[in-house]
Structure 1
Amino acid sequence: MNYVEIAQNILALSGGTDNISSITHCSTRLRLFIKDKKKVEQNKIKAIKIVLGIVFTGDELQIVLGKELIPVYNQVVKLYDDKSNIIVQEDLVTESDNNEKKTNVFAESFIKVIGFVSASVTPMIPGLVAGGMLKVFLLLITLGWAPFEKSQTYILLSMLANVPFYFMPIFVAYGAAKKLGGTPIYGMLVTAALVYPDFATLVKSGKALFMLSVPVTLVNYSSTLLPALLIAICAYYAEKLLTKIIPGIIRPVFVGMCTIVISYILGVTILGPLGDLAGGYIVNIFLWASANLGPFAVGLLAACMPWLVMTGMHHAVTPFMVQAIANPGYDVLFRPAYLLHNMAEGGACLGVALRTKDKALKAECFSLAVGCIVAGVTEPAIYGVNLRLKRPMYGVMAGAGLGGIVAGIMGATAYVYGYSTILAIPIFQKTILAIVVAIIVTILTSAIVTMVLGFDEKDIIDTI
């Protein structure tokens, strides 16, 4: 497969390198931040053979590539860095673009906010997954060999596993700065100061703190999201303003220093406490929904999850899932719903595999089912089979919804941040039985509903 040619086509059809502000990726998606949406030829990008689908959220173009992501991403980055290799497409404005209706201002603003949060947290997600799965691995060892928990090896590895969560604000600041186009280190420095050991000690002491005679709210900022986002935004605009007003000859000396000082003063007095307060309210809203809707809250979120994944909105709540694990110390909503959605996608693929008579499609669906259930990667199943065959999506929603209700009734609760795979069930600790029963119900329901409803496989067999 010619990944260089594919990368060239993607960049050219995205309006060229001059139309792209930055490039990143998650586990299955290439993410391009677009300057002018009108220059992107979405239909032609979808027509590229290995592209499973695309999502356009705000200014972020998400191209779903599944297992082909990394080789394509590597070539895209190389070509982006060497912009002379890419044709910059000018004036790619179609008739449909000219006739495009103005969107609702509130809806557009909401999409931009969600896109910004999603882009800010995306770079750290692999780290959260790595740390979470290391926690799962250590937990499995201690279940089989209790003395290991007191060993120095366990203690040191536990520290490593906790790093992505404890220092999450620093990683969020990095992602936000990259998204905004500022210098990442400034926001990272200020957020690092908020989790600095001496600051944490002062917070624990409970003694009154003042910055320029302004009271400093005593907050534990580890594993928080919104304070880091607000500080990163502040650092970006402070740097931008200072670059304009400070003379060029002394700019290298004073821009950085003044940026971090201004951001830190505003961070510890206003932005940090405000972000922590808002973040707490958001988590409480989710907990309220879980408490008042009962088991139906998990079922509803799980049933809606395939559509959230397709729009990329599922990443926006990831940090709040981390915060729920940190405080109040458990998650009865997000992780159960995420996990059961993955099981439902795998179950639907199993349903397709069991019903179809085409050997190639059967083999592909069995492979995708394993990917969903064991590896926790669903986009290839969603875009490659379930969405294209349409009716299996009903199986996904039915299985995830019913499994979520069962999980809610039985009290499935995640106590450690892990990945949404069957290998992560130890994170449910004393409620493992509840999540195991919910997983079985989910897979069986989604497979049976898919088989009963059937599907028209003519359009998909030729592409397998």
Structure 2
Amino acid sequence: MAKFSNEVLELLAFIGGKENIATVSHCATRLRFVLKDPKKADIEKIEGIKVVKGTFTQAGQFQIIIGNDVSTFYNEFIQKAGIGAASKDEVKKAARQNLNLLQRLISHLGEIFAPLIPAIVVGGLILGFRNVIGDIKLLEEGTKSLTEVSQFWSGVHHFLWLIGEAVFFFLPVGITWSISKKMGTTQILGIILGITLVSPQLLNAYAVAGGAEAPVWNFGFTQIKMIGYQAQVIPAILAGFVLANLEIKLRDIVPDYISMIVVPFFGLVPTVLLAHVVLGPVGWAIGSVISDVVYTGLTSSLGWLFAAIFGFTYAPLVITGLHHMTNAIDLQLMSELGGTNLWPMIALSNIAQGSAVLAMIYLNKNDEEEKQVSIPAAISCYLGVTEPAMFGINLKYVYPFLAAMIGSATAAVLSVGTGVMANSIGVGGLPGILSIQPQHMLTFAIAMLAAIVVPFLLTIAFAKKKILVKKEKEMAA
């Protein structure tokens, strides 16, 4: 007998029947639907199904949180519904039909950076560890670092830069590859395009910023500066999309029997030329403006207000998918400033959401069914994965979500007010401290404490005072 027979039939009925499903796929914990008419889905009844831990709509997809059994549930669902399995890419493509221009742009950004996050996280942790052993004066009464007294740690410090450089200096290669993969074009051409942006024969972007004179390609009638775009995000994005779209257009007009020769040549060569003449300089200028505006806003006399607004609204941004834009801004800040003051606030927001769930565990400590959802959600949230906590608990009850937003804003003000900077994007939640620059770890720890305590206490207070209590439940505090 199938494990979820009854639940599958219930979901099929409550979602509007087979005829209301355009496509469906699943990820690690969620079913992802594109519905022909989202209004036909009875969300209240769907969330009442025993195995459902929450629902939300994002990027045109109606997503249902199932948990670790999602693949089993999915297989039984498509069998009972009599519909074909769809890939996540097919679902995303169908979902975009429900999005406006801005939402589509954000969706594209999310898909570009998602495959790069593991490498960026590793790179951030490595930079943090190098700073701990190389910059913090831990030994000889606070006068020397580990690398200064130990040849072993000096060697480790030197060796780890090999990986850090690969991740961040050569990030454009990953971006152009990711774009070619997403667009379904030739991935090796994307990789080659990225390499032409960071080739060793080009003058390093940081040297150019420091005033060094760049060599040139001399064509007689004109010259092109040989400038590299190491760690630059926007030039790589612009070049990657130009190459992908050019290749797609060429495929449409070039006969198949010569496409193997013509398409790569007339796709890659013009794009590389355009990247160094137009796209690179323009992208660099745009990126510099963005990073300057964000950094100036966070370090100005009104930086505390910017921090409070960002900390308060980041969790709602996650619901809409707009949070994907912060990846590009973080990476641009890193390339321009050697660190980011935006990422610490994101890690704090994750912690705040987990702390609100922790308070719900305390309030509902006698509810075994509730704990089956809330305990795993709190753990995953503290490790940087917020969806189970946000959609399974906090948004369900409303007041813990508000408490988490207030706690996040409080912690963000402390973080920005004390000048906390991260080396890079890193692991969210509590492990986020590993990405913080060593000189700021203590003050960030204080901000983390605020992100734990404030949402916890506010959630309990809101429950006791019945503030925004959406769902009545016995509180056994």
Q: Scaled by the length of structure 1, what TM-score is found?
A: 0.78
- Give the drift of 1:434: 1.4
- Structure 2 residue 319 is the aligned partner of structure 1 residue 349: no
Change (3 A) 1:214 1:391: farther
The separation in 1 between residues aligned to 2:185 and 2:256, in whole angstroms, is 18
Match of 2:197 in 1: 194
Match of 1:119 in 2: 111
User: In structure 2, what residue type is equivalent to 1:112?
Assistant: R
1:3–1:72 Cα contact (<8 Å) kept: no
2:202–2:228 Cα contact (<8 Å) kept: no
Change (3 A) 1:396 1:138: same
Which of 401, 413, 422 matches 1:405?
413
Q: Specify every segment of 5 or more residues in structure 1 that has no aligned partner in the other structure, as ranges.
A: 90-101
Match of 1:183 in 2: 186
Match of 2:374 in 1: 365
Which of 55, 58, 70 matches 1:56?
58
Match of 1:166 in 2: 169
The secondary structure found in structure 2 opposite 1:339 is helix
Change (3 A) 1:74 1:193: farther
Question: Mapping of 1:311-326 within 5 angstroms?
Answer: 311-326=320-335
The secondary structure found in structure 1 opposite 2:248 is helix
The secondary structure found in structure 2 opposite 1:199 is coil
1:56–1:311 Cα contact (<8 Å) kept: yes
Change (3 A) 1:24 1:86: closer
Change (3 A) 1:214 1:417: farther
2:30–2:70 Cα contact (<8 Å) kept: no
- Give the drift of 1:436: 1.2
CA-to-partner distance for each residue in 1:225-271, whole Å, 9 max, x for gaps?
21122112211222123223333321112211221111111111111
Change (3 A) 1:231 1:31: farther
Which of 111, 130, 147 matches 2:122?
130
1:133–1:424 Cα contact (<8 Å) kept: no
The separation in 2 between residues aligned to 1:211 and 1:50, in whole angstroms, is 64
The separation in 2 between residues aligned to 1:51 and 1:283, in whole angstroms, is 38
With 166-175 and 265-274 compared, the bigger mean Cα shift is at: 166-175
The separation in 2 between residues aligned to 1:183 and 1:75, in whole angstroms, is 35
Q: Decide which structure has the larger Cα Rg and report it.
A: 2
1:329–1:415 Cα contact (<8 Å) kept: yes
Change (3 A) 1:439 1:155: same
The separation in 2 between residues aligned to 1:190 and 1:74, in whole angstroms, is 41
Number of equivalenced pairs: 426
CA-to-partner distance for each residue in 1:354-409, whole Å, 9 max, x for gaps?
22242423565344333322x12211110111110111111111111111112222
The secondary structure found in structure 1 opposite 2:437 is helix
- Give the drift of 1:208: 3.1
Match of 1:87 in 2: 84
The secondary structure found in structure 2 opposite 1:309 is helix
Change (3 A) 1:56 1:269: same
Percentage of matched positions with identical amino acids:
23
Question: Mapping of 1:385-404 within 5 angstroms?
Answer: 385-404=393-412
The secondary structure found in structure 2 opposite 1:53 is strand
Match of 2:92 in 1: none
The separation in 1 between residues aligned to 2:320 and 2:124, in whole angstroms, is 24
User: In structure 2, what residue type is equivalent to 1:180?
Assistant: M
Which of 444, 456, 471 matches 1:447?
456
Change (3 A) 1:304 1:201: closer
2:204–2:230 Cα contact (<8 Å) kept: no
> How well do the aligned residues superpose, as a CA RMSD in angstroms?
4.0
User: In structure 1, what residue type is equivalent to 2:118?
Assistant: P
1:141–1:148 Cα contact (<8 Å) kept: no
User: In structure 2, what residue type is equivalent to 1:236?
Assistant: A
The separation in 1 between residues aligned to 2:4 and 2:198, in whole angstroms, is 42
Question: Mapping of 1:29-428 within 5 angstroms?
Answer: 38=36, 43=41, 49-50=51-52, 52-57=54-59, 61=61, 63=63, 65=65, 68=68, 86-87=83-84, 108-137=100-129, 139=131, 145-146=146-147, 147=150, 150-200=153-203, 206-210=214-218, 213-217=221-225, 219-292=227-300, 293-332=302-341, 334-360=342-368, 361-362=370-371, 364-373=373-382, 375-426=383-434, 427-428=436-437
- Give the drift of 1:438: 1.2
Change (3 A) 1:149 1:448: farther
Change (3 A) 1:172 1:54: farther
- Give the drift of 1:314: 1.3
1:136–1:418 Cα contact (<8 Å) kept: no
The separation in 2 between residues aligned to 1:206 and 1:219, in whole angstroms, is 6
Change (3 A) 1:55 1:225: farther
Change (3 A) 1:39 1:263: farther
With 217-226 and 432-441 compared, the bigger mean Cα shift is at: 217-226
With 415-424 and 197-206 compared, the bigger mean Cα shift is at: 197-206
Change (3 A) 1:289 1:388: same
User: In structure 2, what residue type is equivalent to 1:189?
Assistant: I
Change (3 A) 1:362 1:211: farther
The separation in 1 between residues aligned to 2:100 and 2:153, in whole angstroms, is 52
Q: Specify every segment of 5 or more residues in structure 2 that has no aligned partner in the other structure, as ranges.
A: 87-96, 139-145
- Give the drift of 1:51: 6.3
